[in-house]
């Protein structure tokens, strides 16, 4: 496909200096997440080579010294001289920002756009990087230190093989931690193996006391992924797989229904997970709804009097993977993880509806089981809405009056307004006194706001604490939810650093995740980071967020034991301290809540909030009369 592809295709854009100055701009952060980003970047390059059809094996290794290498048996990064830079292509790729050869359109058919910051970023953020390439009859070696050439490219042996090996030592001056996590990498490797049919990825951990290995090869690609996700679920019919290409968009979809209430749908564009969805997901959802409605009408599973299934109804219990490959992916949204290409919507819609209707026609018993599941979902939805309407009619969200406990801010501009949800009345009192009245509102929540069984919407709204929160936020809830009515741009959860605090935080996060998800995806939800310790010496005061920080301050400033106070709760801080350490926008740290890993979040909430499923099942059983008369 790319036989004339050579060094000249590689476009030279910028130098590496900005990367070391502002690493966050390129890899998001310098914490554990940012650190692993380096691995994703190097792995993505090898995966690209596999997607292009040139590589079958990839080995990822965590070495004994903590460095990481990725080896692949692809074509090898070109080693000939690059015309624009006068240095070899491989050195260009490693030292010039955005020189991956992915930007000229002459290289790979597709490549990851989101993580595609280029391997030069990895080089820039590593104290050492070594690259060994086998191709063109030779074995070549080149090394860099802090991004700068340390060992020029040299042929060190003859070889008739072709492969690329990139090994890097993350720079401890840049990263807060340089310790890689086997399970994090394993999860990623598994996911990439699912998405890249036929590639074998092996992962080794050679670190002392951590020796471990895993290998992934999925003949079935994303169908295997669906099987894996549904392992412990009660499945409906077989797993279905469709694959086709339309308008230069290649589309793969695997799906299977289950008896679950929740949907598990993951979408990918060029092997990058698109947490915020996008055009591939809307194309799929529209086609799924339309096709099932048509099929069920034509086969009288939907009677004349029945309303159509909603998109929600047909997704209940559905496990699906939608994976598209596009030449020029446009990533949008808050976290740049939403696919924007409009041609993808039509391609997915067309391919899926054609193949799915064919499948339903050829597999009537699966079709009937799916229709039955959708009808059940509709009944449950209507019953739940009736229950909620009753609550609302009874005045749950009555009076547009703001709750009495809310100490609102003076500003009416959401852009500069913040709502602090504070645990307990005493901390609430300190927060009210310490805050910036102009921009910061305080809503104290008393005690356990909810128990886990009460996360159903109508019961939630019957809870005064939640009701206050919903009214204060201004967005309403359920079908009437509107993000644009949010009264505060930032909603900050401020709880104690103890078990109760963690519980309340989890409950609130569940509430936001389940019923106000747009607030999470739009980045409106934050968690305050109050200090754990106060250290004092004479008139000087320091605050420490972690034990490590406390130790460091103790050593650096020679603070004796009795001058260290451990904060057990927010209530122990006076208003000035609370302001200074936790609320003052100039000095505080806020952790932004993102649904960065939808699968993990879903799992966490499911495990912690397993009460969510039970009451709903009970609820449906209560309405069994409605459900039983399904004559299918
Ligand atoms: C540019 C062009 C060619 C291959 C590669 C890059 C390449 C990059 C990486 C990164 C990790 N593994 C890799 N394998 C290959 C193709 C050059 C040709 O036509 O032979």
DSSP letter string, 513-528: HHH-HHHHHTT-EEEE
Q: For residues 598 and 619, give the distance between their C-alpha atoms in angstroms, rounded to a whole number.
A: 26
Which one from 130, 408, 496, 612 is the annotated catalytic residue? 496
pLDDT at 625 over 90: no
The predicted model scores a pTM of 0.62
Nearest to 433 by CA among 587, 570, 592: 570
Active-site residue, 496 included? yes
Which residues make Cβ contacts (< 8 Å) with residue 126, sequence separation at least 6? Answer: 38, 144, 146, 147, 168, 169, 170, 171
Q: Where are the domains of the chain?
A: 17-216, 222-383, 392-529+577-595, 533-566, 599-632
Which one from 423, 458, 465, 580 is the annotated catalytic residue? 423
User: What pLDDT is stored for residue 56 in this prediction?
Assistant: 96
- The neighbour count for residue 559, using CB atoms within 10 Å, is 18
Active-site residue, 423 included? yes
User: Please, are residues 541 and 397 in contact by the beta-carbon 8 Å criterion?
Assistant: no
Q: Ligand 1: which residue has its CA nearest to atom 3? A: 77
Residue 111 confidence class, pLDDT cut points 50, 70, 90: very low
Active-site residue, 306 included? no
Q: For residues 388 and 315, give the distance between their C-alpha atoms in angstroms, rounded to a whole number.
A: 21
User: What pLDDT is stored for residue 599 in this prediction?
Assistant: 47
Q: For residues 148 and 516, give the distance between their C-alpha atoms in angstroms, rounded to a whole number.
A: 47
Q: For residues 615 and 623, give the distance between their C-alpha atoms in angstroms, rounded to a whole number.
A: 12
Which range (247-256, 296-305, 309-318, 519-528) has the least confidence?
Answer: 519-528
Q: What is the pLDDT of residues 15-33, one digit of tens each?
A: 788 899 899 888 889 999 9
Percent helix / strand / coil, the chain, rounded to 5: 40, 25, 35
Active-site residue, 72 included? no
- The neighbour count for residue 596, using CB atoms within 10 Å, is 14
The encoded tokens of residue 158 equal 């003859």
Which one from 500, 549, 597, 599 is the annotated catalytic residue? 500
First to last CA, the chain: 51
User: Please, are residues 35 and 175 in contact by the beta-carbon 8 Å criterion?
Assistant: yes
Chain-centroid distance, C-alpha 547: 28
Could you tell me which CATH class the domain 17-216 is placed in?
Answer: alpha beta
What share of the chain has pLDDT > 70, as a percent? Answer: 83
Domain 17-216 and domain 222-383, same fold? Reply is no
For residue 602, the surrounding DSSP H or E stretch is helix 598-608
Q: What is the pLDDT of residues 582-612, one digit of tens each?
A: 999 998 988 888 775 444 555 555 554 444 4
Q: Which atom of ligand 1 is found nearest the CA of 72? A: 12
Nearest to 200 by CA among 218, 212, 184, 186: 218
Alpha helices in 333-462 (DSSP H): 342-362, 364-393, 425-434, 457-462
In CATH, the number for domain 392-529+577-595 is: 3.40.50.670
Q: What is the pLDDT of residues 123-174, one digit of tens each?
A: 999 999 999 999 999 999 999 999 998 999 999 999 999 999 999 999 999 9
Alpha helices in 63-151 (DSSP H): 89-95, 119-124
Q: For residues 351 and 283, give the distance between their C-alpha atoms in angstroms, rounded to a whole number.
A: 10
Q: For residues 315 and 285, give the distance between their C-alpha atoms in angstroms, rounded to a whole number.
A: 8
Cα-to-centroid distance, 198 and ligand 1 (Å):
19
Could you tell me which CATH class the domain 222-383 is placed in?
Answer: alpha beta
């Amino acid at each position: 496909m790319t036989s004339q592809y050579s060094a000249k295709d590689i476009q030279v854009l910028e130098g590496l200096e900005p990367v070391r100055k502002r690493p966050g701009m390129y890899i998001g952060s310098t914490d554990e997440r940012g650190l692993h980003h380096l691995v994703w970047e190097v792995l993505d390059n090898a995966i690209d080579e596999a997607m292009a059809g040139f590589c079958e094996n990839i080995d990822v290794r965590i070495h004994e010294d903590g460095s990481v290498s990725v080896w692949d048996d692809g074509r090898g990064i070109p080693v000939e001289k690059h015309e624009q830079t006068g240095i070899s292509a491989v050195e260009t790729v490693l030292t010039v920002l955005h020189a991956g050869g992915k930007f000229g359109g002459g290289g790979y058919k597709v490549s990851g756009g989101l993580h595609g910051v280029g391997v030069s970023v990895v080089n820039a953020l590593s104290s050492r990087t070594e690259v060994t390439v086998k191709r063109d009859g030779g074995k070549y070696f080149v090394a860099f230190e802090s991004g700068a050439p340390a060992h020029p490219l040299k042929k060190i042996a003859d070889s008739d093989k072709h492969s690329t090996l990139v090994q890097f030592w993350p720079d401890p001056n840049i990263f807060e931690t340089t310790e890689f996590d086997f399970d994090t990498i394993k999860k990623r490797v598994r996911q990439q193996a699912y998405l890249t049919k036929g590639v074998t990825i092996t992962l080794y951990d050679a670190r002392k006391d951590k020796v471990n290995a895993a290998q992934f090869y999925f003949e079935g690609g994303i169908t295997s992924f669906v099987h894996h996700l549904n392992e412990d679920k009660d499945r409906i019919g077989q797993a279905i797989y469709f694959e086709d290409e339309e308008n230069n968009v290649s589309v793969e979809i695997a799906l299977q229904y289950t008896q679950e209430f929740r949907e598990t749908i993951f979408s990918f564009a060029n092997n990058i997970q698109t947490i915020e969805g996008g055009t591939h997901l809307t194309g799929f959802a529209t086609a799924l709804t339309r096709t099932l409605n048509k099929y069920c009408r034509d086969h009288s599973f939907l009677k004349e009097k029945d309303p159509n299934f909603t998109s929600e109804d047909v997704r209940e219990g559905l496990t699906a993977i939608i994976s598209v490959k596009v030449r020029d992916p446009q990533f949008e949204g808050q976290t740049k993880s939403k696919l924007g290409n409009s041609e993808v919507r039509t391609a997915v819609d067309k391919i899926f509806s054609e193949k799915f209707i064919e499948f339903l026609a050829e597999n009537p018993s699966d079709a009937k089981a799916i229709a039955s599941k959708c009808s059940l979902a509709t009944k449950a939805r209507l019953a739940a809405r009736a229950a909620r309407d009753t609550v609302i009619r009874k005045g749950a969200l009555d009076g547009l009056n703001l709750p009495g406990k809310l100490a609102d801010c003076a500003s009416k501009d959401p852009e500069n307004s913040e709502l602090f949800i504070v645990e307990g009345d005493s901390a609430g009192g300190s927060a009210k006194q310490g805050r910036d009245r102009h921009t910061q509102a305080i809503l104290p929540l008393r005690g356990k706001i909810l128990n886990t069984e009460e996360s159903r919407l109508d019961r939630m709204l019957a809870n005064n604490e939640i009701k206050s929160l919903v009214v204060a936020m201004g967005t309403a809830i359920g079908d009437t939810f509107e993000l644009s009515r949010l009264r505060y741009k930032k909603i900050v959860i401020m709880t104690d650093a103890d078990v109760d605090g963690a519980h309340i935080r989890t409950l609130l996060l569940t509430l936001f995740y389940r019923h106000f998800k747009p607030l999470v995806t739009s980045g409106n939800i934050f968690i305050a980071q109050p200090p754990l310790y106060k250290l004092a010496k004479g008139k000087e005061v320091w605050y420490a967020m972690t034990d490590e920080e406390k130790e460091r301050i103790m050593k650096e400033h020679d603070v004796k034991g009795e001058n260290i106070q451990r904060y057990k709760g927010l209530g122990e801080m006076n208003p000035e301290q609370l302001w200074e350490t936790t609320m003052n926008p100039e000095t505080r740290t806020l952790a932004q809540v993102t649904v960065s890993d939808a699968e993990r979040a879903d799992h966490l909430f499911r495990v912690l909030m397993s009460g969510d499923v039970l009451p709903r099942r009970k609820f449906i059983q209560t309405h069994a009369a409605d459900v039983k008369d399904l004559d299918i």
